[in-house]
């Protein structure tokens, strides 16, 4: 909207999900040309019910927050990433360290499918990881681990997965 005349012809979309550590909340806004904003408002009022009130209130609180005074979200996810990557490495599961994301894509140990190991981690460790093939055939051989929990919860998840890894045997095919 900084470009001369943009407010008369353009719109911008902004998500609060990652910038405000509200992953999964699915809240965003659009600003710009009034007729386009009105058209989207009309369309959305006919195809969905809007965002849950508690999420809207969290979004308001986020937008009223002093952005300069708070910790960077990137630093938060970097620390969470390191907790998981380092903890699983100590348990023998070496995973590539992503540079910028709220997810870890972990190559699974030999002998497993992504669904098999995801199911066993859930049943035996009580931790949810998403099988890579849920994202398409190229995801097979990986699981996705979300970094959306606090560090202490991630440490507990790592401890549980480590115990699973100590006793897990890949299924025979």
Tokens at 115, concatenated: 């669904």
| Radius of gyration, CA atoms only, the chain | 21
Looking at the fold, whether 119 and 99 belong to one and the same domain comes out as yes
Looking at the fold, whether 142 and 87 belong to one and the same domain comes out as yes
User: Which structural domain range is residue 11 located in?
Assistant: 6-64
pLDDT of residue 155: 97
Higher local confidence (pLDDT), 168 or 58: 58
Looking at the fold, whether 81 and 143 belong to one and the same domain comes out as yes
Q: Taking Cα atoms as reference points, which of 55, 74, 69 lies closest to residue 147? A: 74
Residue-averaged pLDDT of the chain: 90
Q: What is the sign of the dihedral through the CA atoms of 158, 164, 169 and 173?
A: negative
* Cα–Cα dist 111/134, whole Å: 19
The CATH number of the domain holding residue 89 is 3.90.1150.10
Q: Is residue 122 part of a domain?
A: yes
Higher local confidence (pLDDT), 49 or 97: 97
Looking at the fold, whether 58 and 142 belong to one and the same domain comes out as no
Average pLDDT over residues 126-147: 96
Tokens at 140, concatenated: 């097979």
Name residue 130's beta-bridge partners: 144
* pLDDT tens sequence across 155-165: 999 999 999 99
pLDDT of residue 75: 86
Looking at the fold, whether 56 and 84 belong to one and the same domain comes out as no
Average pLDDT over residues 125-137: 97
């Amino acid at each position: 909207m900084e470009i001369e005349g943009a407010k008369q012809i353009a719109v911008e979309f902004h998500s609060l999900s990652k910038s405000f550590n509200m992953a999964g909340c699915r809240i965003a806004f659009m600003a710009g040309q009034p007729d386009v904003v009105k058209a989207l408002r009309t369309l959305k009022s006919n195809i969905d019910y809007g965002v849950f009130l508690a999420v809207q209130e969290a979004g308001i609180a986020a937008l009223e927050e002093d952005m300069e005074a708070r910790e960077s979200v990137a630093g938060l996810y970097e620390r969470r990433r390191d907790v998981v990557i380092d903890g699983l490495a100590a348990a023998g599961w070496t995973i590539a360290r992503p540079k910028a994301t709220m997810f870890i894509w972990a190559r699974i140990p030999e002998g497993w499918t992504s669904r098999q190991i995801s199911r066993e981690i859930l049943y035996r460790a009580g931790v949810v990881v998403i099988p890579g093939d849920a994202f398409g055939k190229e995801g097979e051989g990986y699981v996705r681990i979300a970094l959306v929990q606090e560090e202490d919860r991630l440490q507990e998840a790592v401890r549980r997965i480590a115990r699973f890894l100590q006793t897990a045997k890949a299924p025979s095919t």
